[in-house]
Amino acid sequence: MRLDVTDRAILTALQDNARPTNAELADRVHLSASACLRRTRLLEESGLIARFVAILDPRIAGVPGTAYVSVTLDSQGRASLDKFEAAVRVIPEITECYLLAGQHDYLLRVVYRDAADLERIHSEILTPLPGVVRVQSQLTLRTVKRSTKLPI
């Protein structure tokens, strides 16, 4: 998809705040309201705008802890990967999952309430996942930067 300056302005504005009125967005990107609405709908229909979401504050939501967990499986066959990925998709404490090339097979981002909750997640959720032979966690001390905004 080819994006012009106006499309990029719309996308940048929506990544900053996805809840402006169409009139506010149009004013910000210097378009008429009808042209802005048409362009925004085209960006949604193209799939570039995948969805609109609310981003919660983890501390206020009661899950202030974040761990990055490296997982190694016993097999890298398609069936093993599919089983693991299907299991991970339904676990709410796992907020991100990436298939890796390298020493480990997956990298998970896990949120937790406290040390006891992390221990529960580790022993009752992560290690019993299909095919898991090794789990290695790194705990974050402080969030320096967290962004959902893509450079466009």
User: What pLDDT is attached to residue 75?
Assistant: 95
User: 112: how many CB neighbours lie within 10 A of its CB?
Assistant: 21
In Å, what is the CA distance from 49 to each residue of 14, 33, 46, 115, 134? 9, 19, 7, 37, 36
pLDDT band with cut points at 50, 70 and 90 for residue 1? confident
User: What pLDDT is attached to residue 6?
Assistant: 96
**pLDDT tens-digit profile of 57-113?**
999 999 999 999 999 999 999 999 999 999 999 999 999 999 999 999 999 999 999
**pLDDT tens-digit profile of 27-58?**
999 999 999 999 999 999 999 999 999 999 99
18-44 residues labelled b (16+ CB within 10 A) or e (exposed): eeeeeeebbebbebeeeebeebbeebe
User: 67: how many CB neighbours lie within 10 A of its CB?
Assistant: 18
